[in-house]
Amino acid sequence: MEDTIMAKGLLIVLSGPSGVGKGTVLKEFIHDKDLKLAYSVSMTTRKQRPGEVDGINYHFVTKEEFEQAKKNGELLEAAEFVGNYYGTPISEVERLRNEGKNVILEIEVQGCTQVREKVKDALTIFIVPPSMAELEKRIRGRNTEPEEIVQERLAKAAREMELIGMYKYVVCNDDAKLAADIIRVIIKRHMKSNI
C-alpha cells in the first residue's frame, strides 16, 4: 500500500437553523474512526462560555483580530450571528484535507452558502427539526434569552429553512443517534467515490 496516492479528504459542511441540534448530532459520530474526520475549529468573537477551551471549541479572538484575518484572506467563510462573528480558517482545513482527513465544519447557513461557492464538491448536509413547533421548544428549552431574542432566532430559522434546496442532503434530527447513523452512511458513500 506504500505506493498508494492519498486522496484529498472531503470537505463536509453540517448546517441548519440555530437550535436544531447540529452539535448534538455531530458528537454522535465525530469519533467514529472509520470516517477519518477532523473537526475544523472556527474563529469567533463571541465570549468563551464556561467549559469551553480556546483552540478546541473555538479560537476566541477580538473583533480586530477577526477583521484582520478576514482582510488577509485567511477565512474560507465568515458570518455574523446574533451580534458575533464566526469564520473558518482556510489553512487548517487545507492542511487536514491534504493529510487525507475528511474535514467537517459545523456552521450556520450564510457560511455554508459561501463555502458552496468556493468549494464546488463540498458535501453539504442540512439538519432540519421534525417541526417548527419542536424547534421552538428546543430554542426556548436551552436558552434563558429574552422573548425578543427568541422571536428573532425563530424568524431567522424560518428564513434559513427556505434554503433547504441548496443542500446535497437533508437529515431530520428527530433522534440524534438516528440522524448521526444516516450521516455516517452519507459520508461513507462519498468516501468511496472520493478514491
Contact residues: ligand 5GP, CB under 6 A:
18, 22, 42, 46, 77, 79, 81, 86-88, 106-108, 110-111
The closest alpha carbon to 168, from 125, 129, 127, belongs to: 125
Sign for the CA dihedral angle at 135, 136, 139, 142 comes to: negative
The three-point CA angle 70-61-139 to 5° equals: 95
Cβ proximity to ligand 5GP, 29 vs 86, nearer residue: 86
The minimum distance between CB 159 and ligand 5GP, in angstroms, equals 14
Would you say 141 is a known binding-site residue? no
When CB distances to ligand 5GP are compared, the closest residue is 111
The minimum distance between CB 39 and ligand 5GP, in angstroms, equals 11
Which amino acid, 19?
G
The minimum distance between CB 74 and ligand 5GP, in angstroms, equals 12
Would you say 87 is a known binding-site residue? no
